[in-house]
């Protein structure tokens, strides 16, 4: 099977073909006093942030994407954003 690139979609056999895998591009950038994570796939783009005052704030999604980026050595902000790890 060919390597996936952002926007590619594959249907899983599991669950009677009712699940998909989507390849996304994910990157982080500083935005004033907080960090924004951009997500692009399937001709769409969205952002999430670690700023609780923002309508784009989503603590668990930010935490999970940050964790994947840290594990793959592409998180460039050190421990910033780690407050989302706290319960």
Q: pLDDT by residue (tens digit) across 61-78?
A: 999 999 999 999 999 999
Residue 38 belongs to some domain of the structure: yes
Residue 73 belongs to some domain of the structure: yes
Residue 2 belongs to some domain of the structure: no
- Which pLDDT score, from 0 to 100, does residue 72 have? 96
Residue 1 belongs to some domain of the structure: no
The C-alpha atoms of residue 32 and residue 15 are separated, in whole angstroms, by 43
Q: Total structural domains in the chain?
A: 1
Domain residue limits at 74: 9-85
Predicted confidence (pLDDT) at residue 37 exceeds the cutoff of 80? yes
- Structure tokens belonging to residue 16: 């009677």
pTM: 0.84
- Which pLDDT score, from 0 to 100, does residue 43 have? 80
The C-alpha atoms of residue 72 and residue 27 are separated, in whole angstroms, by 12
């Amino acid at each position: 099977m060919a390597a996936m690139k952002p926007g590619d979609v594959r249907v899983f056999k599991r669950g009677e073909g009712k699940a998909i895998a989507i390849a996304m591009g994910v990157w982080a950038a500083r935005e004033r006093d907080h960090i924004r994570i951009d997500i692009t796939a399937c001709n769409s783009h969205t952002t999430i942030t670690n700023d609780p005052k923002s309508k784009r704030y989503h603590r668990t999604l930010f935490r999970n994407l940050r964790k994947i980026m840290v594990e793959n050595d592409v998180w460039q902000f050190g421990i910033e954003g780690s407050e989302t790890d706290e319960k």
